Amino acid sequence: MAVRALLFMNPKAWQRFVGEIKYVNVKQELRLYGIATLLVNELVRSAKNHGTKELFLVTEASNKPAVNFYTVRRWGKNDAELLSLDGRPLIRMYKNLVCD
């Protein structure tokens, strides 16, 4: 599989306008060809079509390719202290789809 990702829409009424992107992964030898850009653009478009107002994702703070990828695409960073189960720092990134 060259690329994969999941988009979660929360069915709970009070959270239904927030979606989460998980497991975005492009096969190593196909990276830097714009594949994740196409994929994430499509996820954003689909989320908007479903009425989602905000998307977020969580990644390791040390994951420079991912943090850079979303920062360049004007996703915000939430610096709240988050740690993985094995203690590594995580970062929450989000995109407001209303103002996008």
Ligand X SMILES: CC(C)(COP(=O)(O)OP(=O)(O)OC[C@H]1O[C@@H](n2cnc3c(N)ncnc32)[C@H](O)[C@@H]1OP(=O)(O)O)[C@@H](O)C(=O)NCCC(=O)NCCS
Q: Which residues bind ligand X (CB under 6 A)?
A: 24-26, 31-37, 57, 59, 63-66, 68-69, 72
Q: How far is the CB of 17 from ligand X (least distance, A)?
A: 21
Between residues 40 and 97, which has the closer beta carbon with respect to ligand X? 40
Nearer of residues 42 and 100 to ligand X, judged by Cβ: 42
Burial category of 100 from C-beta neighbours within 10 Å (exposed 0-12, middle 13-18, buried 19 and up): exposed
In whole angstroms, the minimum distance from the beta carbon of 99 to ligand X comes to 21
**Least spacing, CB of residue 13 vs ligand X, in Å:** 27
The dihedral built from the CA positions of residue 59, 13, 52 and 99, taken in this order, carries a sign that is negative
Q: Which residues pair with 18 in a beta bridge?
A: 54
Indicate the residue among 14 and 64 with the shorter CB distance to ligand X: 64
**Minimum distance, C-beta of residue 55 to ligand X, in the bound complex (Å):** 11
The torsion of the CA quartet 44, 71, 89, 26, rounded to 10 degrees, works out to: 60
Cβ count within 10 A of residue 52: 22
